[in-house]
Structure 1
Amino acid sequence: MKAAEGVQRVALEALVHGACVMKRWMMLVTAIPLAVAGCGGGDAGESATTVRVERPPFNADRAFQDLERQVAFGPRIPGSAGHAEQLEWLETELRSLAHTVFLQPFEHVTVDGNELALTNVIARFGPADGSRLLLLTHWDTRPKADQSSDEADRELPVTGANDGASGTAVLMELARMFNEQPPPGGVEFLFSDGEDYGPSTTDMFLGARHYIAGVGSENPPAYGILLDMVGDADPSFPVEAYSMEGAGQVVQRIWGIAAGLGYRRFFPMDQTSRVLDDHVRFIEAGIPVANIIDFDYGPGHGFWHTPRDVVENTSAQTLFMVGDVVAEVVYRNR
């Protein structure tokens, strides 16, 4: 993703489990002081008769363990040992959880002439036919820390605890939830490869492009949600501009549900600048995909594409909040 500006930071306050019960189903909630008055608010555009489906809670500890596991593989740069280990882990785990799992291998030659062997991982839950919701994230990491303020570090690979591992960790835990309690409609997961290779955009968003040219053109999803950089220990998820322009109804649904769950403070409707990311390729193809992203990562945006994108700068609490919102969107997807 490219630089964005004007993102307003909101400090994360303590997330306390069990503070209130959300109508029929919610046995575990996160209470954020002053975020929302009371516990009963619904999301914008939903009727008063909307029924929440019983669902298991999002397990933040397990998701965070998945984040740590990915980091332990090492950098997940295409062609690296860490990349191969992560691919094997993704496939093995998902085959134990999803109805259908398949790999989408492809190759790409970079502008520098490097030949990359890449693989998208696709998993499906629920009905095989009919419309479906796409949840996507990228699982690769940046080869070079080109945004580091220290020139000596710019040739180092990025660990990708937030930019790479966080979205994958949330989706893996959602996969366990959907295995335990199937969602009411069809859901497809896309773990895209080659999103962050770079440095030019010609060598980025590779997995999204390949998916759209294949699966996405033959049987496109109705709409989608992209998770990118969703583990920041100091989170704020304002509305990304491309998302509002190309997937406005999806944005209204996500941010409305977030407000109803008590996360309005961390999902402000303030609109931030445009961020080039996988979702833009989908929007260009006529598929509305909204991006949940905290692009203001670290003081002065100083952790993005640097050696400081590490586990210590991420939080299980943030994974919980994002996973809780996306789970609610999916289980209301009727």
Structure 2
Amino acid sequence: MNFLRNTLVTTVLLAGTALISCGNSSKKDSGSSEETTENETIITAPAFSSDSAYQYIADQVAFGPRVPNTPAHKACGDYLAKQLERFGAKVYNQSADLIAYDGTILKARNIVGVYNPENKKRVLLCAHWDSRPYADQDKEENHHRAIDGANDGASGVGVLLEIARQIQMQAPAIGIDIAFFDAEDYGIPEFYEGSYKQDTWCLGSQYWGRIPHVTDYKARFGILLDMVGGKNATFYYEGYSSRTANRAMKKIWKMAERLGFSNYFIKKDGGEVTDDHVYVNQLRQFPCVDIIHYDSEGNTGFNPTWHTLNDNLEHIDKSTLQAVGQTVMGVIYNEK
């Protein structure tokens, strides 16, 4: 995905103490759509299906690596747009020629599905759908091989497609926009010997941030899903989100706790990453939270399969998909 790849977590230490919980889970009446806590009424969201999300991931991986300028990339883009249309969204296809770090012109395509477009109260859900052209965290002989990106890319998209399916059947009270950003993972590889260039990651969200799918687009907040399907995944407070989207971030982690997913959503500070949420915030000027796997024990801070050929369907865990998908749905269905 797109983060402070080289300087990432090695320069950011975990906070020594956990933050105090904002609320406790309450027992739910299976015959009711609401539960009442001491201070608020919580709406029970529709049941997220990790089986469906997993199938959407498998569908993407079956096309092959979704690297811009390849047949697999074009075919998968068509599939994603059709899926959103199938699930009742008004779909915007945003094509652009974007310049990669090495001068390559990338035929990129952002795909945005809009629900309840007339509602001014909106939340953006987003993920990147392209996959890395380089396995530059793998053995040297694999560095120039493209990866499947089952976790790094496809997992976030798979979760959002399942959420789109649920929205079609039962809409939340607000407008929802689901954005699949392209060309996120075409940044400078580890083996590149040229001069370093700023902003080579997240090219699709940079373009969308400057030229959104509708004029003057705003949302209450955004939620970015990146690497949300790995086994034993943990999601810590990401640094940039903490500074620029703290209220929305705490709302998400509080919902995860209510739903029983505290073992995934850890209330501690993790690393800071350069990802699509940075450009959403900087260019559209509303908060956006990055839900991204953070490995406090690893050398990179990311999932062990990150930017390797092991980022394949074998390493996707439905339990992680369930935790993320149900949490995000809990958040959006409780916006009023």
Normalised TM-score (structure 2):
0.85
> Aligned partners of 2:199 and 2:222: how far apart in 1?
23
Pick one of 306, 311, 325 that aligns with 1:304: 306
Supply the distance in 2 between the matched residues of 1:217 and 1:297 (Cα, whole angstroms). 40
Give 2:95's aligned amino acid.
Answer: P
Identity of aligned residues (%): 33
Q: Say if 2:114 and 2:178, in contact at 8 Å, map to a contact too.
A: yes
> Partner of 1:207 in structure 2?
204
| TM-align CA RMSD | 2.3
Q: Is the Cα contact below 8 Å between 1:110 and 1:116 reproduced in 2?
A: yes
TM-score (ref. length: structure 1): 0.85
Distance 1:21 1:231 in 2: 27
> Could you give the per-residue CA deviations for residues 175-234 of structure 1, whole angstroms, max 9, x where no partner exists?
000000011100101100011111165332111111111227612222100000000111
SS in 2 for 1:268: strand
Pairing 1:58-69 to 2, within 5 Å after superposition: 58-69=48-59
Q: Are 1:48 and 2:36 matched, yes or no?
A: no
Q: Which of the residues 139, 157, 168 maps onto 1:168? A: 157
Task: Give structure 2 stretches of 5+ with no counterpart.
Answer: 15-25, 189-196
SS at match of 1:238: strand
Q: Residue 21 of structure 2 aligns with which residue?
A: none
Q: CA deviation at 1:298?
A: 9.7
Q: Which runs of 5+ in 1 are unaligned?
A: 9-19, 28-39
Q: CA deviation at 1:299?
A: 5.8
Hey, what's the Cα distance between the residues in 1 that align with 2:30 and 2:54?
Answer: 27
Q: What residue number does 1:106 align with?
A: 96
Kindly tell me: are residues 101 and 23 of structure 1, through their superposed partners in 2, closer, same or farther at Cα, counting changes over 3 Å? same
Distance 1:160 1:262, change over 3 A: same
CA distance in 2, matches of 1:332, 1:187: 13
Aligned residue pairs: how many?
A: 305
SS in 2 for 1:164: helix
Residues 270, 294 of structure 2: 8 Å contact kept: no
Name the CA shift for 1:234/1:195 in 2 (closer, same or farther; >3 Å).
same
2:73 to 78, 83, 107: 83
Partner of 1:289: 288
In the alignment, structure 1 residue 178 sits paired with structure 2 residue 178: no
Shift of 1:297: 9.8
Deviation at 1:325, TM superposition (A): 0.1
Q: What amino acid sits opposite 1:152 in the alignment?
A: E
Answering whether residue 325 of structure 2 is matched by residue 323 of structure 1, we say yes
Counterpart residue identity of residue 205, structure 1: C
Show CA shifts across 1:2-29 (max 9, x none): 3332688xxxxxxxxxxx96345689xx
